Structure 1
Amino acid sequence: MPTRFKHSCSAILTLSLLTACASSPPKNATARIDSQSKFYQQLASTPLPSHLPIPVKGISADQLTDTWGNARSHGRSHEGIDILSKRGTPVYSTTDGIVSRISSYGAGGNAITVVGYALSQHYYAHLEGFGKYRIGDTVKVGDTLGYVGSTGNATTTHLHYGIYLSPNRTAVNPYPYLR
């Protein structure tokens, strides 16, 4: 295959991927999940626990810092907490749930969202890599979702962890849940 043709195909493929990834993701990620499934109904009817396990291997509650609400670029507020750890450290699910989204673009970089109890959305961002799960898969507390990284707009290796409550995807501070 001529080199010029290979470069043209590569450029077209790259442009196609960028175009496909450039569209805004849906705000309600649960739309991809079968809302009639028994497990989904169980999640919907079970309240969000007041205590959740820390999602990063080897991190204890006294190592957490409440970064909720801190100022971010473009006038934004921080809708989660940052948990510092070494690159490649396993990231665990804090809830039983269903993987509703896996993405590799935007400010969060490599990120995965799990719909959990009370249809809360648990967002894990800046991952170095992903675990074995795909959209629609069920996960249990403690399952490895990915690995700590610095993708997206991260300036150091850490996990950004956020919780959003249904029905309006309202962000809540995860720090009290992890204490």
Structure 2
Amino acid sequence: MVSEMRRAATIALALAVLLAWTVGPAAPAGAEHEGAAAERAAREILDARDRANDAAQAMFDAESRLDSLTIELAQAEEDLAALEAEVGELRRGVADSAVRQFVGAGRDSLLLFQDIGQTNELATAQVYTSAASGSQLVQVDDYDQAIDELDDARHALEQKRADTADAADAWAALKADAEQQVLELQRIEQERLADAEVQHELERQRQARAEQERREREQEAERQAAANAAAQAAAASGGGSSTSSGSSSGGSDQGGGGGQGGGSGSGASQQPVAAPAPTPPSNAGSGMVCPVAGPRSFADTWGAPRSGGRSHEGVDMMAPGGTPLVAVESGSATFKTNNLGGNAVWITGSSGTKYYYAHLSAWEGSSRSVSQGEVIGYVGATGNTSVNHLHFEVHPFGGRAVNPYPYVRAVC
């Protein structure tokens, strides 16, 4: 009996050792819970960044619309002034002829000597029409038509002013929301990022998301290339039967190859194949750090219209005023001031790429050599803006600016 009990104990001990060796050491108490908490905190930060980015995109899109309307409004005002001058010139021409027939006539002739802005244009036109004869009718017809165009232009200008005012109100509301979302992001990051485990998990999730976005961009580029190749092949096959009735398969609305020249036969109705949107380089952002060292949101506003007929050549990154800005790459920093950018910085990186920072509230130090991550200034709203943000540009090898959004998206 004793030997059987001893044998059972030995077997139980062996099984316990085997189980411990197979399963491994038990996880520390609460470790699994901490990991899940870090994952949730990191996801909460990323979600807050997404909301802030969406709000920034909406605000900057509204700004672009407002700028476009402002440009159109200025042009409409110029056009109206030119049309008023044209009507005035026509009026004087018609009046010169009519006055000769109205000298000594009734009191209606007094209208001829009043300024166009001080009388009823239609009434004046009627007086001129009644006085005209022969070749004068041509002048009167031109004048009549110009009066109608002037009236239409004035109504269109008033509508344009109303649209611009509405766009300004919409932009102001979206600006307030975008600024609030950045402040909320700042609060969440201050609460969550104090934990090193959360920082590690946040970076892991951010890199995973960036890799997923990279794969999606590559797949979209492949689809675009395949669609363009198919369209060009269809256009080429359709172009070989230009004597047909024009209903060949090459006449689809994606048709392409020789779209600029117009072609003959069925090719004349084809539209040029749109060039695929350029994909960012696979190493976009590699070797650089985020220029904003703090809570930030940003939007892809490359090419958006700006006042003065300009187009946007940077990425706009919103952040609370005073947030530190750092050198994205080691190199030399030159501090300057200009009307559009306010307090600005040019960094010539060791790689030869140049980076432009604008709208800073203040610089940190003066022009000098800088290390990557070194503070060079602070977010502000100097220059041609009313929003605390960084305007950031990337100039590969010191050349023309390229869309910096993919670069910023990869590291911020």
Shorter-chain TM range is 0.5 to 0.7
Q: Is the 8 A contact 2:302 2:313 kept in 1?
A: yes
Q: Counterpart of 1:113 in structure 2: which amino acid?
A: W
Counterpart of 2:357 in structure 1 is 124
Corresponding residue SS for 1:67: coil
User: Offset at 1:68?
Assistant: 1.4
Asked whether the 8 Å contact 2:330–2:349 carries over to 1, the reply is: yes
Aligned to 1:112: 345
In structure 2, the partner of 1:157 is 388
TM-score if structure 2 supplies the norm length? 0.29
**Are 1:130 and 1:146, in contact at CA under 8 Å, matched by a contact in 2?**
yes
2: CA distance between counterparts of 1:104 and 1:80?
A: 17
Contact 1:130–1:145 (Cα < 8 Å) also in 2: yes
Q: Distance in 1 between matches of 2:342 and 2:299?
A: 22
User: Counterpart of 1:91 in structure 2: which amino acid?
Assistant: L
The match for 2:291 is 55
In structure 2, the residue matched to 1:102 is 335
1:138 to 369, 388, 391: 369
Does the Cα contact within 8 Å between 2:320 and 2:388 map onto a contact in 1? yes
| In 1, Cα distance between equivalents of 2:348 and 2:366 | 13
State the shift of 1:79 in Å.
0.7
SS state at 1:172 partner: coil
Contact 2:335 2:366 (C-alpha < 8 Å) held by counterparts: no
How many equivalent residue pairs?
A: 127
Higher radius of gyration, 1 or 2: 2
TM-score normalized by the length of structure 1: 0.65
Distance in 1, Cα, partners of 2:351 & 2:293: 25
Matches within 5 A, 1:15-94: 50=286, 52-59=288-295, 63-94=297-328
Indicate the residue corresponding to 2:161 in structure 1. Answer: none
Structure with the higher strand share, 1 or 2 = 1
Higher relative contact order, structure no. (Cα contacts within 8 Å, ≥ 6 residues apart): 1
Aligned alpha-carbon RMSD (Å)? 2.0
Q: Give, as a single letter, the amino acid of the residue that structure 1 aligns with 2:302.
A: W
Q: How far off its partner does 1:106 sit?
A: 1.7
Deviations, residues 120-144 of structure 1 (Å, cap 9, x unaligned): 111010000001132xx21111111
Displacement of 1:96: 0.9
Distance 1:97 1:51 in 2: 13
Q: 1:156/1:131 Cα in 2 relative to 1: closer, same or farther (>3 Å)?
A: same
Percent identity over the alignment is 40
Task: Give the structure with the higher percent helix.
Answer: 2
Counterpart of 1:176? 406
CA contact (8 A) 1:48 1:120 kept: no
SS of residue paired to 1:118? coil
Tell me the CA shift for residue 166 of structure 1: 3.0
Are the aligned partners of 2:341 and 2:384 in contact in 1 as well (CA < 8 Å)?
yes
